Amino acid sequence: MSSQQRDLFGGAIVFSIPPQCKDVSDLRQVPNNQEAFVYRNSPISIIVEVLERVAQKDDDEAAKFHFDSLAHDNSATSSSVESVTKIPNNRGDKTPSPVVLKGTQFVRKFNSTVPDIIHVLLAVFRVESKNVDLVLSMNIPLQTAEGETDYTEYQRAQRDFETAVKSLRILDFDLFVG
């Protein structure tokens, strides 16, 4: 399936995601530091957040910090990191090279006795000059009380995440001025 370019934060940032992704702000209020999208007919979500740069100097450790923070926010009963890699930005623009983390979180929802298994894909773009970490995350529920994500949908979501990360461009760094 093809992707389409979407403006984020009033056009200060752009990236490409599938056309079937719906802007969550059309459904409910979203914090000013976030842009959120959900797949139609699927629990898969994509969130882009402007966050204060974390103290970790090592990029891998910064990505792990953001993953752990997300696990905490989700009240995960456990989580694990599968891999952390850096994708070089070879486009010649000033968008930082993203650090990509792949991991799994076990999250209990709605008083369920069995936790949902959520595959989390996370990319951190560290904008040192503005003291900002731009975090793009995708949550892929692999197994929930409602059912399982089939393998084809899972693979498509991973490809969509890679496209979003590789296409993300910061066009206006003044977005990050407090």
- Domain boundaries of the chain, sorted by first residue: 4-176
Contact present, 51 and 135 (Cβ < 8 Å): yes
Alpha helices in the chain (DSSP H): 59-73, 151-167
Q: Does the pLDDT of residue 7 top 70, yes or no?
A: yes
Q: Does the pLDDT of residue 42 top 90, yes or no?
A: no
**How is residue 96 annotated by DSSP?**
P
Question: Which SS3 state, helix, strand or coil, does residue 2 take?
Answer: coil
Alpha carbon separation from 93 to 10, 68, 87, 101, 126 (Å, rounded): 19, 30, 14, 23, 14
Tell me the CATH class for 4-176: alpha beta
Averaged pLDDT for residues 161-170: 97
Which structure tokens are listed for 114? 């069995």
Q: What is the pLDDT of residue 108?
A: 83
Q: What percent of the chain has pLDDT over 90?
A: 76
Q: What is the pLDDT of residue 136?
A: 98
pTM of the model: 0.94
CA distance 18 to 12: 20
